[in-house]
Amino acid sequence: MGLISVLWGIFAMLWMLLALVPLLGWGNWFLIPFAAVGAIIAAVGMVVTAPANRGRAKTGLLLNAIVIVVAVVRLHLGGGVI
């Protein structure tokens, strides 16, 4: 599950870079739930795996958390969240 969350986070990061382009900020509305699902997958992966093998799940959780924070800030700055 850790590998899935890392790949999910990488895809979300690429999507986030695209959503930073002006007039494409509406993509953040879809990006936030997408990254939240990736964070949930990473959290489940951290619970299921052994403590020594949680590196990928932690990385996936961090990537998805960064994406969520940046997307919310971008929506706030662009007037998407009032």
Q: How confident is the model at residue 82 (pLDDT cuts 50, 70, 90)?
A: low
Full-prediction pTM beyond 0.95? Answer: no
Q: What is the pLDDT of residues 30-58, one digit of tens each?
A: 999 999 999 999 999 999 999 888 999 99
Phi, psi of 71 (to 5 degrees): -65, -40
- Residue 30 amino acid letter: F
Per-residue confidence (pLDDT) for residue 9, from 0 to 100: 94
CA distance from start to end of the chain: 36
- Tokens coding 53: 């093998």
Alpha helices in 1-82 (DSSP H): 2-19, 27-48, 55-78
Greater confidence (22 vs 56) lies with 56
Residue 9 domain-assigned?
no
What is the rounded distance in angstroms from the CA atom of residue 12 to the CA atom of residue 53? 23
Give the count of domains, the chain: 1
Residue 8 domain-assigned?
no
Residues of the domain holding 32: 15-78
